[in-house]
């Protein structure tokens, strides 16, 4: 039976090594210790997700094999906390996980801990060769091939998740799903604001089952998209001023036509923070064209769906700083000659009388 990866990594995080990492990252020693307790399971959790993806097993096995056999001994006896080592390790994680995924991982953990992203990136970079070294040592000790290495890692998934600070696992999962589902200009099939995934067309699923995309199947799913795009162009061109709901796969009956206001949110709702999104810092209007405020945050429920929007309305109402919250379903998009804008059914008087949203304090 393989040794606990979490426990093995922790054994190498001696007070001397933690001190070197604190010096390199510019963090207080106590803060570094706390940050490491979150960073280690976060990185291992991300690697567990990696091996479930196509070519992920091979990528991880290659990264582990590229580490010197004596890497763990070297880390214990040399100045581990060099900035160069941290940057190299961050580059390794970025290469394995993808730049966007590693950026989301770093920003989420740093926000959760209240630590700046720069020091957190350095700290994770310093951990990378140590974690790879531990995986390599366990792989060699058990005589595992690449698949065995992946199975060893996924077999400890529950233990890795249990080692994360309370609330961090859910926040990481939410922000990763947001990053993967926010629309991009080159991905028309993912233009939806709902967090989650939708079933692929049958032709895609069959191609995936064969391990590659079928070149012969693409016209069957591209053609409906082209027809839909032409229909939307025609409709939008005829009615540039009509407003429709924010694009979402939720049933139309869930879209509100009048705004209600929230004074607080359940503990289970989390902020998207710095996760890539198309809402934060965007201005919001009413149907009369009046600018009402600026979106400062979006809250996500336990199921990963956006449930509330936080709007700063103070300066637009001529009062002090004030935040109000409306259900996410109240947001709509209005098509105008100058482009699209986000609107809600509200007036300045409504917002003046709306309750101020009170954010939950961190525990």
Residue 262 DSSP label: B
Mean per-residue pLDDT, 17-41: 90
Domain boundaries, the chain: 5-165, 202-238, 243-353
pLDDT tens string 152-174: 999 999 999 898 888 887 788 77
Q: Which of 55-64, 163-172, 290-299, 309-318 has the highest mean pLDDT?
A: 55-64
Residues 311, 304: contact at Cβ < 8 Å?
no
Note the pTM of the prediction, 2 decimals. Answer: 0.52
Q: What are the helix and strand counts (H, E) for the chain?
A: 15, 8
CATH number of 243-353: 2.30.30.240
Does the structure show a pLDDT above 60 at 212? Answer: no
| Tally of CB atoms within 10 A around 254 | 11
Mean per-residue pLDDT, 90-111: 87
The pLDDT confidence band at residue 211, using thresholds 50, 70 and 90, is: very low
| Tally of CB atoms within 10 A around 217 | 16
């Amino acid at each position: 039976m393989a040794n606990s990866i979490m426990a093995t990594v922790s054994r190498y995080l001696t007070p001397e090594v933690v001190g070197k990492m604190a010096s390199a990252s510019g963090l207080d020693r106590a803060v570094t210790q706390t940050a490491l307790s979150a960073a280690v399971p976060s990185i291992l959790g991300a690697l567990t997700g990696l091996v479930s993806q196509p070519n992920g097993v091979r990528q991880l096995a290659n990264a582990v094999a590229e580490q010197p056999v004596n890497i763990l001994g070297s880390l214990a006896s040399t100045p581990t906390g060099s900035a160069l080592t941290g940057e190299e390790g961050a580059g390794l994680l970025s290469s394995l996980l993808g730049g966007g995924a590693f950026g989301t991982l770093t920003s989420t953990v740093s926000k959760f801990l209240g630590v700046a992203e720069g020091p957190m990136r350095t700290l994770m970079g310093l951990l990378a060769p140590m974690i790879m070294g531990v995986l390599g040592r366990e792989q060699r000790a058990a005589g595992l091939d690449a698949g065995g290495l992946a199975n060893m890692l996924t077999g400890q998934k529950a233990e890795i998740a249990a080692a994360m600070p309370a609330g961090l696992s859910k926040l990481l999962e939410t922000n990763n799903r947001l990053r993967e589902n926010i629309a991009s200009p080159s991905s028309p099939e993912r233009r939806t604001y709902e967090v989650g995934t939708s079933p692929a067309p049958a032709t895609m699923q069959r191609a995936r089952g064969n391990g590659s995309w079928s070149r012969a199947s693409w016209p069957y799913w591209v053609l409906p998209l082209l027809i839909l795009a032409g229909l939307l162009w025609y409709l939008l061109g005829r009615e540039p001023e009509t407003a429709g709901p924010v694009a979402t796969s939720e049933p139309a009956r869930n879209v509100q036509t009048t705004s209600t206001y929230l004074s607080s949110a359940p503990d289970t709702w989390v902020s998207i923070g710095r996760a890539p999104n198309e809402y934060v810092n965007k201005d919001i209007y009413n149907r009369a064209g009046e600018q009402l405020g600026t979106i400062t945050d979006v809250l996500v429920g336990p199921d990963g769906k956006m449930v509330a929007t936080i709007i700063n309305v103070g300066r637009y109402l001529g009062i002090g700083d004030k935040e109000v919250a409306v259900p996410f379903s109240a947001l709509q998009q209005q098509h105008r000659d100058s482009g699209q804008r986000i609107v809600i059914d509200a007036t300045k008087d409504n917002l003046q009388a709306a309750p101020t949203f009170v954010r939950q304090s961190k525990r």
